Chains A and B, each alone.
Chain A
């Protein structure tokens, strides 16, 4: 799979550029009135001409998850799209529980036409395995957005090939996992943000000794938070920053869950747990519960994603300053490992109106809408766009700083079948509570993986 590593390199490179432009926006727009209005940046006219060509009619159903990013962007693009196609009857199926709610419809074969795959219970790989998404390989290779630009050229992260050589979904949002803290609090207390696991433990001991707050609170109800933000980057770090181990995980390789890097990373969690760093209430907290506890300084660190700032916008206390660390599991003097969280859009295989779905996809992948995402959802999208003048939040800039640093390794995402996600969630939360050992964790995962492997080979 050398193709994959090449693709990764390319990915980090493009990412770098994307993040750079993003990072640039806040810091130097005051003293640098840049005249970067490119000629192509006037999409309005081409827009209409292009869209007017095809007349879309009938029903068109869009499913989108509403979580930390909110729904403002979706409402906006959908209403614009509706204006372009007044005869299209657009139905929005949206909400925080939409993945669970729509699941039966996907199973019974009457899915919506277009889907944004994000949030708890969403799993692009599983949907591809279950043959629910349309193979858009050929179409996407040529597809142009509403401005007449090739969509693939505009993407920061390229589409994942869940089946080799095939595209089923297009990445729309480029988020990132991380460990978060309040900079203002740290300044006030004179604490240094940790740069490796050693300094994290040292600081943890100090915080613990002061006995004012927990060291580390997490989202125990959805353990994929701690998996994505703490465990996965640590695995890569323990594998000498070689990201190939994630590929081995994704290909369901036998024995990988009991391999040395994984066990080492698990042992870090055990150490945190044994030192009593992990907040006792965590196992019963969902993400906003844990995040609001953290915002109230009931804990110093939290594993979550960069969407936390917009998600909690209403509950951020005055003077709170978001701090971001891509990873904390690395050895002294090591690099940071950044774990992206990418959300995709796709067209249902059984879409009743695939034409509208394709047109909608072409419509949303424009630079203008990429910018709009950054502004309305307060997080970077996966569309390369000049974010000059947009008000990207501080946290995004902070994250971009790390992603751009040569001292950071960008890891691919762990993408595994849903049953395995569940098994891993259960095992990890049991580990944080000291109920199982890393060996047992490995046994459970190996067993679950073996079952799935057996089934996929059938």
Chain B
């Protein structure tokens, strides 16, 4: 049994470094909450690390939620994220299954064309995409954004799911075929349930990406009632140049962070596993 490195000086140094970095990571989050509970005067006159004064300004939260419509943005983000994740995973699972379990002409080409997307900067397509959606009358619509999100989620998901479907034993299909099950039935009744862990980790990572996405949302949606959270926060930061309201700004940051942090803590195992699985195979 290897006990690892035991030199005590060494150990202490590494241990301290780990602690320091943990503080570096966690402190800004705690500090966001503190900031969300302060008023302007505390920002201007106090030190940034001061604790908020009593009474705590919980009203900052309701203020951005209502006055700056963060309630709406939250719902927008939620809808866009959930719908495009579900559709995106469905689109990828079908394709991945076909690629993994069937041989047909162009199989490899198809797989690599999805893979290559992950190695190509998509920024180039942003201008034409904007005009394309405009031609379809899909700019300024959540549906347009959903469409783009679900399809951009496909390459990574196909990549992970192909690996997943390949790892399932061949006998399953054979047994199903003997039972007379159709291709569809085999997929939906047998393979899909078996691929559940893979689907879940892909879905989780897609949720993270979409919830945080900024560039597409910025370019494709210009209607203030249809913003998603990241755009809303960027806009709010811009608004702060006219009405300095630090407390509400931090409250908005927290509203954006809160759900995703919770989500991460619940699913952290799947997230790290999914990410390592995806990356290591690449």
Contact = CB atoms under 8 A, between A and B. Distances in A.
Interface of A: 66-68, 93, 95-98, 100-105, 108, 110, 286-289, 292, 296, 311, 314-315
**Among B134, B139, B222, B242: residue with most chain A CB under 10 A:** B242
Given A93-B223, A98-B224, 7 more contacts: A96-B239, A103-B222, A108-B130, A108-B134, A108-B139, A311-B242, A315-B44
B131 interface: yes
28 contacts: A66-B242, A93-B223, A95-B239, A96-B238, A96-B239, A96-B241, A97-B238, A100-B238, A101-B224, A102-B222, A103-B222, A104-B130, A104-B219, A104-B222, A105-B222, A108-B131, A108-B139, A286-B241, A288-B241, A288-B244, A289-B241, A289-B244, A292-B44, A314-B40, A314-B243, A315-B40, A315-B44, A315-B244
Contacts of A96: 238-239, 241-243
Contacts of B131: 108
B235 interface: yes
B96 to A, nearest CB: 35
Contacts, number: 52
Contacts of A101: 222, 224, 235
A220 B72 CA distance: 34
Nearest to B227: A101
Interface of B: 40, 44, 130-131, 134, 139-140, 219, 222-224, 235, 238-244
Contacts of B235: 95, 97, 101
A68 B243 CA distance: 9
A105 B219 CA distance: 10
Contact of B244 (A104, A108, A292): A292
Given A101-B235, A104-B139, A287 B222 contact: no
B242 A288 contact: yes
Nearest to B220: A104
A326 to B, nearest CB: 24
Nearest to A287: B241
A102 B223 CA distance: 8
A288 B238 CA distance: 11
Contact of A95 (B44, B219, B224): B224
B209 to A, nearest CB: 23
Nearest to A69: B242
A339 to B, nearest CB: 22
A357 B239 CA distance: 27
Contacts of A286: 241
Nearest to A295: B44
A97 to B, nearest CB: 4
B219 to A, nearest CB: 7
A379 B279 CA distance: 59
A314 B41 CA distance: 11
Considering the complex of A and B, which 4 residue pairs feature the smallest CB-CB distances, nearest first?
Answer: A97-B238, A286-B241, A96-B239, A96-B242
A328 B235 CA distance: 35
A315 B139 CA distance: 39
Nearest to A296: B44
A103 B238 CA distance: 16
Given A97-B235, A108-B139, A68 B242 contact: yes
Contacts of B240: 288
B240 to A, nearest CB: 7
A311 B243 CA distance: 8
Contacts of B44: 292, 296, 315
B232 to A, nearest CB: 11
A67 B139 contact: no
Contacts of A102: 222
Contacts of A97: 235, 238-239
Contacts of A287: 241
A97 B130 CA distance: 20
A446 B189 CA distance: 71
Contacts of B238: 96-97, 100
B43 to A, nearest CB: 10
A104 B219 CA distance: 8
Nearest to A65: B242
Nearest to A102: B222
A103 B139 CA distance: 13
Contacts of A93: 223-224
Nearest to B68: A95
Contacts of B223: 93
A110 B140 CA distance: 11
A296 B40 CA distance: 13
B236 to A, nearest CB: 9
B281 to A, nearest CB: 38
**Among B40, B44, B223, B244: residue with most chain A CB under 10 A:** B244
Contacts of A110: 134
A161 to B, nearest CB: 31
A110 B224 CA distance: 15
A360 B65 CA distance: 32
A286 B244 CA distance: 11
Contacts of B239: 95-97
